Structure 1
Amino acid sequence: MQFNRLGSSDLKVSEICLGTMTFGIQNTQQDANEQLDYAVDYGINFIDTAEMYPIPPNEATYADTERFIGNWLAENQAKRDKLILMTKIAGSGLAYIRNGSNISRDTIAEALDDSLQRLNTDYVDVYQLHWPNRVSPHFAKHWPWRTNPHDTDIERERDGMRDIVQGIGEAIKAGKIRHWGLSDDTPWGIHTFLNICRELNVPKPVSIQNEFSLLHMKDWPYLIESCVFEDIAYLPWSPLATGLLTGKYQNDERPQGSRWTFVQRQGLFRNTTEAHEATARYLEIAERAKITPAQLALAWCKQVPGVTSTIIGATSVAQLKENIAAFDITLSEDTKKQINQVIKRYPMPF
């Protein structure tokens, strides 16, 4: 297992991060225990979750993923100090979570205490802001005319970010979190938080996790360049494009129990003709390389300069084993050349 430093922190994390958003809907507690046991025994020390999980989010299952992990930690207390555990505070938009309120100093204090209790731990290694308070170009809003920066009150946004940083600083001083990070944010968000951290003398964010895959690479090179230059770990989530890159949704297939059979909060915006056409090409490349489509996508993600650790998820230990094996694969120059040709043809398929 390869380990990399997590941004400017002193933490060494495995190049594979176990994503857990299926725990509670697609996976039972027993399933979760089996995945956690296998991942940790294999050498993965990096686990990502969120108070909003499982996905798709709903009031009935709210925070069950943290509860599942907390139940496992209660039975594996000796392993806690060897793990790097991340969770996230949800932003506005979900009425059943703090009445849909924005992230703030006050909501951080409340949400963090609740997460610590559910997780059965005294501290979180990395506490993340799940998404910005402002509207940002994520979840299909990166297409032209989906957002308008003039709609944001910039000074109000900065004031809100100062309030957040103060809350983060208080949590660090209290020992409830060791470090903090961003999620679903932009270069402006990164640099504004960096400036505010210097202004308020609060430790800077050590990581950011954004959606990144062969079908969604808007962060490369500009945001990833910012991360490398500012010593912030870049953590891709959904490197398989919610399973699309495995090929299981080709020809309008919907395997029983798969993610696309559930109602999606943002809709199936990845389900486009261009995305399926690009995926078909990647399936052909994987066949020629004699690896699975999932392994092609994950091995590609790993080799992108600036990627610190890739967040992978699975609904079975068999899928988890297949995905983990991808990180022992080195793509040939010919395979990478074939991939580049598809990228040029389908640069933004969803």
Structure 2
Amino acid sequence: MQYSRLGKSDLQVSRVCLGTMTWGKQNNQTDADAQLDYALAQGINFIDTAEMYAVPPSAETYGKTETILGNWLAENAPKRKDLIIASKIAGPGLPYIRGGGEITGEAVIQAVDASLQRLQTDYIDLYQLHWPNRTTPHFGKHWPGQVNFTEVNTQMHSNQMLEILQALDSCVKAGKIRYCGLSDDTTWGIAEYLRLSEKHSLPRMVSIQNEFSLLHTKDWPYLIEQCVHSDVAYLPWSPLAGGMLTGKYLNGQRPAGTRWTLTQRNGLFRDTATSQAAIQEYVDLAASLSMTSAQLALAWVNQVDGVTSTIIGATSMAQLEEDVAAFEVSLNDAKMQAISTVLQRYPVAF
């Protein structure tokens, strides 16, 4: 396993981050225990969770993933010091989480304490804002005209960000969290948080996790350039585009127990004619290169300049083993050119 520094922190994280959002919905405690044991045996030390999980989110599954991870941590206390545990506070919009309200300083304090209790740990290594209070061009809203940036009250949001940073600072000083990060944010969000941190001597954001895959490359190059030059770790989530890049949803297939058989909060907005066409080409290309399409997709994300660690998730051990093995795959110039030929036809397929 290879490791990278997590932005401007002293943490060395594995190039593979184990995502956990299926735990508590598609996976139970026994499944999670097996995944964790296998991941650690492969050298993975970076585990990502959130108060909102399991996914698809619901009031019934809220907090279950952290609870499952916490149960494992309680049973494996000596291993805690070797792990980098990341969690997230939910942004606005879910009525069963603090009434659906925005992230505030008070909400940060409450959420950190609740997560610590569920995780059964004294500290969280990386605490992230799951999504901003303002609307951002993620989750299918990246096409021109879907977000009106000129209608955003810049000063109001900057003031909110400062309040959030001050609350995070209190958590850092109390020893509850070590570092702070973003999720589903933008270049402006990164820059503004860094500006406020420097101006007010507050904790800086050391990472951002955004959706990024062969089907969805909108963060390249501008946001990733911002990350590199600002020393902010870039952590791609959904590198398999919600499982699409495995090919299992081609031609209308819906294998039993898979994510797309469950009700999706934002619908199946990734399922487009363009996505289907691209996936078929990647599946065919992977077969010609003697690898699975999942391994091709993950190996490609891993080699993108500026990527620190890729967040993967699995509902079965077979999937997890296949995905982890992808990070040993080497893509030579000929393979990269073949991938690029497809990518240039479908740079943002959904």
TM range (shorter): over 0.9
Question: 1:81: Cα distance to partner?
Answer: 0.6
- Counterpart position of 1:105: 105
Q: Which amino acid aligns with 1:189?
A: G
Q: Secondary structure at the match of 2:9?
A: coil
- Counterpart position of 1:74: 74
Q: Secondary structure at the match of 2:133?
A: coil
CA deviation profile, 1:38-64 (whole Å, cap 9, x unmatched)? 101211000000000010000011110
In 1, Cα distance between the equivalents of 2:240 and 2:344?
19
Question: 1:203: Cα distance to partner?
Answer: 2.1
Q: Secondary structure at the match of 1:206?
A: strand
Question: 1:139: Cα distance to partner?
Answer: 0.3
Question: 1:131: Cα distance to partner?
Answer: 0.3
- Counterpart position of 1:283: 283
In the TM superposition, what are the counterparts of 1:141-290 in structure 2 within 5 Å? 141-290=141-290
Q: Secondary structure at the match of 2:205?
A: coil
Structure 2 unaligned spans of 5+: none
Q: Check whether the contact 1:50–1:89 (CA below 8 A) recurs between aligned residues.
A: yes
- Counterpart position of 2:132: 132
Question: 1:332: Cα distance to partner?
Answer: 2.1
Q: Check whether the contact 1:214–1:297 (CA below 8 A) recurs between aligned residues.
A: yes
In 2, Cα distance between the equivalents of 1:239 and 1:175?
32
Q: Which amino acid aligns with 1:148?
A: N
Q: Secondary structure at the match of 1:240?
A: coil
Q: Check whether the contact 1:50–1:87 (CA below 8 A) recurs between aligned residues.
A: yes
Q: Which amino acid aligns with 2:104?
A: S
Q: Check whether the contact 1:166–1:200 (CA below 8 A) recurs between aligned residues.
A: no
Structure 2 residue 20 is the aligned partner of structure 1 residue 48? no
In 2, Cα distance between the equivalents of 1:20 and 1:213?
18
- Counterpart position of 2:324: 324
Q: Check whether the contact 1:32–1:68 (CA below 8 A) recurs between aligned residues.
A: yes
In 2, Cα distance between the equivalents of 1:341 and 1:110?
48
Runs (4 or more) in structure 1 with deviation over 3 Å come to none
CA deviation profile, 1:292-326 (whole Å, cap 9, x unmatched)? 11000000000000000000000011110000000
CA deviation profile, 1:223-244 (whole Å, cap 9, x unmatched)? 0000000101000000000000
Q: Which amino acid aligns with 2:14?
A: S
In 2, Cα distance between the equivalents of 1:145 and 1:221?
21
CA deviation profile, 1:29-86 (whole Å, cap 9, x unmatched)? 1001110111012110000000000100000111100000000001000000100000
Count of residues in correspondence between the two structures: 350
Could you state the TM-score of these two structures normalised by the residue count of structure 2?
A: 0.99
In 2, Cα distance between the equivalents of 1:262 and 1:269?
14
In 2, Cα distance between the equivalents of 1:197 and 1:104?
16
Q: Secondary structure at the match of 2:344?
A: helix
Q: Check whether the contact 1:285–1:335 (CA below 8 A) recurs between aligned residues.
A: no
Q: Secondary structure at the match of 1:61?
A: coil
Could you state the TM-score of these two structures normalised by the residue count of structure 1?
A: 0.99
- Counterpart position of 2:118: 118
Q: Which amino acid aligns with 2:183?
A: S
Q: Which amino acid aligns with 1:338?
A: A
- Counterpart position of 2:310: 310
Q: Which amino acid aligns with 1:24?
A: G
Q: Which amino acid aligns with 2:233?
A: A
Q: Which amino acid aligns with 1:196?
A: L
Q: Which amino acid aligns with 1:133?
A: N
Q: Which amino acid aligns with 1:180?
A: C
What percent of counterpart residues are identical? 58
